[in-house]
């Protein structure tokens, strides 16, 4: 894929593109897809927000990548796999128009290295040379399939051990809105049993 990209017109345009999270029409390229997201209220969502806040604060990246105290390493891995997937997807989108099967006939890393594709399917049982856009499309599809595999990346709150975290978040919210009388008791009726168990038990 070397020597097949035209320079980005300006860093400003790249930054604008990156921050907007632009998603291109999939009919034009199979590598540009909607961003993968974490379900709000889960531990991984909170870790994701923690990581984003750290990145935006200008902290040394060598420090930012360290596991936050008390957090699970597996969840920290998962958060970064998804974040890197989204970022790489966006970055590739900025150059995908310049990298076609004609301009990038092989997926390479310079003149000395070529990447071959093999995934065990009937079509690609053996390592196969491919144009760069096709290779990247297959790679992004494969990564997305791994992310969507709940055996590898479980999404249920209890399954990833985040039930206690979610309960704490709810109690924090409940105490806050009650302290400042922001939400009426009527609005909590659907959650009455949960509120009784989580919040009123604290008073006992």
Q: What is the pLDDT of residues 141-198, one digit of tens each?
A: 999 999 888 888 776 544 455 566 567 778 878 888 888 888 898 888 888 888 888 7
List binding-site positions: 99, 104
Q: Are residues 79 and 172 in the same domain?
A: no
- Give me the torsion for CA of 124, 129, 133, 135, rounded to 10°: 40
| Residue 181 in domain | yes
| Residue 124 in domain | no
Q: Are residues 170 and 74 in the same domain?
A: no
Percentage with pLDDT > 90 across the chain: 19
117 has a pLDDT exceeding 90? yes
133 has a pLDDT exceeding 50? yes
Are the beta carbons of 185 and 66 closer than 8 angstroms?
no
The three-class DSSP label of residue 26 is coil
Q: How confident is the model at residue 90 (pLDDT cuts 50, 70, 90)?
A: confident
| Residue 140 in domain | yes
Q: Are residues 55 and 140 in the same domain?
A: yes
| Residue 20 in domain | yes
List binding-site positions for Zn(2+): 99, 104
The three-class DSSP label of residue 114 is strand
- Classify 182 in phi/psi space as left (phi over 0), alpha (psi -120 to 50) or beta: alpha
| Rounded CA separation 116/135 (Å) | 8
Q: How many CA atoms lie within 13 A of 106 on its CB side?
A: 12
Count up the domains in the chain and report the number: 2
| Helices and strands of the chain, counted as H and E runs | 7, 2
61 has a pLDDT exceeding 70? no
The CATH number of the domain holding residue 148 is 1.20.140.30
Strand-pair partners of 108: 114
| Residue 74 in domain | yes
Q: Are residues 53 and 79 in the same domain?
A: yes
| Residue 88 in domain | yes
Burial class of residue 53 (count of CB atoms within 10 Å of its CB; 0-12, 13-18, 19+): exposed
Q: Are residues 35 and 82 in the same domain?
A: yes
| Residue 112 in domain | no
Q: Are residues 43 and 75 in the same domain?
A: yes
| Rounded CA separation 182/126 (Å) | 62
Boundaries of domain holding 89: 11-100+133-153
Q: Are residues 60 and 33 in the same domain?
A: yes
Q: Are residues 28 and 76 in the same domain?
A: yes
């Amino acid at each position: 894929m070397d020597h097949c990209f035209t320079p980005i017109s300006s860093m400003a345009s790249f930054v604008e593109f990156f921050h907007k999270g632009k998603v291109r029409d999939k009919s034009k390229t199979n590598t540009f897809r909607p961003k993968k997201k974490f379900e709000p209220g889960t531990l991984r969502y909170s870790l994701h927000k923690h990581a984003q806040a750290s990145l935006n604060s200008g902290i040394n990246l060598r420090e930012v990548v360290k596991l936050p105290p008390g957090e699970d390493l597996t969840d920290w891995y998962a958060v970064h796999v998804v974040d890197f997937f989204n970022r790489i997807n966006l970055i590739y989108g900025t150059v995908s128009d310049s990298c076609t099967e004609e301009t990038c006939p092989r997926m390479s890393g310079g003149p000395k290295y070529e990447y071959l594709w093999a995934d065990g399917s009937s079509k690609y049982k053996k390592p196969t040379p491919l144009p760069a856009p096709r290779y990247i499309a297959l790679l992004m599809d494969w990564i997305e399939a791994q992310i969507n595999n709940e055996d590898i990346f479980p999404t249920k709150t209890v399954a990833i051990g985040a039930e206690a975290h979610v309960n704490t978040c709810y109690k924090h919210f409940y105490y806050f809105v009650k302290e400042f009388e922001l939400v009426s008791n009527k609005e909590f009726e659907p959650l009455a049993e949960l509120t009784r168990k989580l919040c009123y038990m604290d008073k006992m």
